[in-house]
Amino acid sequence: MTKIRINEIFWSAQGEGARKGFPSIFVRVAGCSLRCEYCDSKSSWDEGEFLTEDEIVAKIDSLMKKYPHSQVVFTGGEPLEHNIEGVAEKLKNKNYFLAVETSGIINSDINFNWWAVSPKDVCDFKIAEGIRNKISELKLIVNNNLNIERIKKITAGLKNIPVYLQPEFFDPDRYEKTFKLYQSCVSEGLINIMIGDQLHRHYKIR
């Protein structure tokens, strides 16, 4: 029987990206090999309990009864490092809208409705070839390793998708840096570049 280590399953509003504000049931899978120093969910690296696929589905079903029409978001950690294919298929069979938040370094054939991909500097912003044509939105964390030339390389050949520049939460100058980079991108004619934010930080929710 497949068991997956889960850090938490909870309901809230989607805090980032193109679906910001959408009611969401988050499935935070525990474990991530990247371990970015600016990660804002470090508890997901090691903390969690092993649940069967049916236990996970039952928890989601219970929340869905209370908060109908929510999307189900697999997040982490890095959810695609783990064996979530079976539970994703069970949820798809219930016609739930499935989204994933991933760094994009791992290929996957899971039929998610929405792919939020956030390539990381710790792996040189690499995106697996099998993921590139699935991306629904890109989220790029603004730090000293992200610049216009890097953004051009990341987005080269991608379909017409929104690209969000996300302030790095622990940087006190995050908004100034993000706007400056955004301004430069627009000046150079980059398309689909937008300023991102974290709704859940302002509302002080998860």
* Among candidate residues 154, 142, 156, the one with its CA nearest the CA of residue 184: 142
- Quick: pLDDT tens for 49-106: 999 999 999 999 999 999 999 999 999 999 999 999 999 999 999 999 999 999 999 9
**pTM of the predicted protein model:** 0.95
When pLDDT is cut at 50, 70 and 90, the band that residue 43 belongs to is: confident
The dihedral through the CA atoms of 75, 76, 82, 86 has a sign that is: negative
| Structure tokens given for 96 | 């739930």
First to last CA, the chain: 31
- pLDDT at residue number 16: 95
In angstroms, the CA 51 to CA 1 distance is 10
Q: For the stretch 5-28, what's the b/e string if a residue is b when 16 or more beta carbons lie within 10 angstroms of its beta carbon? A: bbbbbebbbbbbbbbeebebbbbb
Residue listed under structure tokens 């908004």: 175
Residue 53, amino acid: E
When pLDDT is cut at 50, 70 and 90, the band that residue 164 belongs to is: very high
- Based on DSSP, count helices (H) and strands (E) in the chain, helices before strands: 6, 9
Average pLDDT over residues 154-171: 93
Residue 71 DSSP SS3: strand
C-alpha pair distances (Å), 140 with each of 19, 66, 95, 171: 16, 33, 30, 15
CA dihedral 54, 56, 62, 66 (to 10 degrees): -150
- Quick: pLDDT tens for 10-41: 999 999 999 999 999 999 999 999 989 888 88
The structural domains of the chain, ordered by start, are 3-203 (3.20.20.70)
The answer, yes or no, to whether the previous bond of 77 is cis (omega within 30 of 0) is yes
Mean pLDDT of the chain: 95
- pLDDT at residue number 1: 78
- Quick: pLDDT tens for 126-135: 999 999 999 9
- pLDDT at residue number 28: 97
In angstroms, the CA 201 to CA 198 distance is 6
* Among candidate residues 177, 169, 179, the one with its CA nearest the CA of residue 199: 169
